[in-house]
Amino acid sequence: MSTQRASVPSAATPQGAGRYAPSPSGELHLGNLRTALVAWLFARSSGRRFLVRIEDLDRARDAGTADAQLADLRALGIDWDSEPVLQTGRGDAHEAAIAQLSQAGLVYECTCTRKDILAAPTAPHAPPGAYPGTCRDLTEAERDSARARIAPRLPALRLRAPAGETRLGFDDLLLGHVEGDIDDLVLRRGDGTVAYNLAVVVDDAAMGIDQIVRGDDLASSTPRQILLQRLLGLPTPPAVSYAHVPLVLGPTGARLAKRDGAVTLTDLGSAGLSASAVLGMLAESLGLASPGERVTAAQLVARFDPATMPREPWVWRPASA
């Protein structure tokens, strides 16, 4: 993935909305909270609405923490403009999108396991783990045999990416110009769960989201999502803008995780740090507050300038608290 810094547009008052879309797989840690704060600041400073969506499609990873996550956002002063959307309530829209793609001849069944994909030869210059197209052009008899082989498990559904759509670029407000590879991505898993890339595209469009701010670990998924937007006739860049926020790293330089100690609002509170103190710490990491300064989220809106956002990860060291 190549990057080059892009210019930041002026903050005219547009229609549309920004959003934060956590998965309820656990409590929000400092990295999640920092990204949520940045997404909120992007939206509020540009006159947009701010919405929340709980991405609870993967039931196996749902730890039931959605309410706690919302409470943590409120504690920091992050508000939103309508009731949070539950992604599990959007199933009909997801299936309608798959049906639309299928009617266009852009969907096929896949019975490959992850092991099969990793073991299969890939096309030259294909990224690691890219789907090699094993099931793409099977005959009906071969599909019947493949279905029988995996029964009672059901096949997954994959997008038949149009010819020539193997790489796509977009301009990101923080990363600059980004390019990424596209393969025949999964639309629905064999267990019936709709894939993230499809659901997020359909749901963002339905919610009127035109400003997508999230962690930069998701930047490589964006070209796939833009392709889906095009194929489904949904808004694409520049009508939709992207800003992928640098992650928070733990003391070892690895991505921040619970193993790094007190990294959730609950744990930090037990260690004597109030939500206000945590907000000040996050603001300091973004260059929006002085060390130890107590601020409110509302005060940060006036200070926020996307052009001055840090472009490097923030390393969290508990001793600095």
Instruction: List Cβ neighbours of 128 (8 Å cut-off, separation of 6 or more).
Output: none
Where in the sequence is the domain holding 171, given as residue range(s)? 92-188
The whole-number pLDDT of residue 122 equals 65
pLDDT digits (tens, 9 = 90+) for 286-303: 999 999 999 999 999 999
Is the pLDDT at 124 greater than 60? The verdict is no
- Provide the CATH number for the domain around residue 153: 3.90.800.10
Instruction: Judge whether 142 lies within some domain.
Output: yes
Instruction: Judge whether 97 lies within some domain.
Output: yes
Instruction: Judge whether 224 lies within some domain.
Output: no
Annotated binding residue at 196?
yes
Annotated binding residue at 131?
yes
CB–CB of 219/189 below 8 Å?
no
Instruction: Judge whether 265 lies within some domain.
Output: no
Annotated binding residue at 259?
no
Annotated binding residue at 214?
yes
Annotated binding residue at 276?
no
Is the pLDDT at 3 greater than 60? The verdict is no
* Alpha-carbon span 268 to 156, nearest angstrom: 42
Annotated binding residue at 132?
no
Closest Cα partner for 66 from 27, 39, 30?
A: 27
pTM for the model stands at: 0.90
Instruction: Judge whether 261 lies within some domain.
Output: no
* Alpha-carbon span 34 to 31, nearest angstrom: 5
Instruction: Judge whether 167 lies within some domain.
Output: yes
Annotated binding residue at 108?
no
CB–CB of 207/51 below 8 Å?
yes
Could you please report the per-residue DSSP string of 270-283? HTT--HHHHHHHHH
Instruction: Judge whether 49 lies within some domain.
Output: no
Buried (b) or exposed (e) across 257-281, using 16+ Cβ within 10 A? eeebebbbbeebeeeebebeebbbb
Is the pLDDT at 261 greater than 70? The verdict is yes
The whole-number pLDDT of residue 5 equals 33
Instruction: List Cβ neighbours of 198 (8 Å cut-off, separation of 6 or more).
Output: 94, 97, 98, 187, 188, 228
Instruction: List Cβ neighbours of 272 (8 Å cut-off, separation of 6 or more).
Output: none
Percent of the chain topping pLDDT 70: 92
Number of domains in the chain: 1
Instruction: Judge whether 38 lies within some domain.
Output: no
